[in-house]
Amino acid sequence: MKKLLLLLFLIPVLSWAATNGSWANIKAKDYVDYKNSIHTNFTKEDIEKHIMSLAEAYSSSNAWNQSKKQERSFCAPEKVGLNLLNYIQIIDNEIKKFPHTLKDNHRLSLILLSGLGGSFPCNNQ
């Protein structure tokens, strides 16, 4: 049943990602330019949808790993409902903490994943 639910979730997400492939390449500089109202190839809606899609994918991956008794990437408290503003704050904190992410122009996906792991470590949960 869990596999079916995961597939029902992943099929539309992967279809969406395939038709919007450029979003997979949003980098740290694109994000900071957006935050600083500098022209980028991405709209505010593009950036926000990308962040929420990443967050949903990471949460689904975590749920899958937990169901298989495998290690999760991060362990946000169940009573904490993360939203777009939380994810933006996590990304901002990661970029401030690791400024080389801008110079090296890391992918936003890796910055968010690293930030979630640092903000919500699992500590053997």
Whether 14 is covered by a domain: the verdict is yes
Whether 124 is covered by a domain: the verdict is no
Whether 125 is covered by a domain: the verdict is no
Whether 61 is covered by a domain: the verdict is yes
Whether 96 is covered by a domain: the verdict is yes
Model confidence at 8: pLDDT above 60: no
pLDDT in tens, 94-121: 999 999 988 888 999 999 999 999 999 9
**DSSP assignment of 54-121, as one string?**
HHHHHHHHHHHHHHTT---S----TT----HHHHHHHHHHHHHH-THHHHTT-BHHHHHHHHHHHHS-
Split into its structural domains, the chain has a count of: 1
Q: Whole domain around residue 93: which residue ranges?
A: 2-119
What pTM, to 2 d.p., does this model score?
A: 0.78
pLDDT in tens, 13-28: 554 554 455 556 899 9
Whether 53 is covered by a domain: the verdict is yes
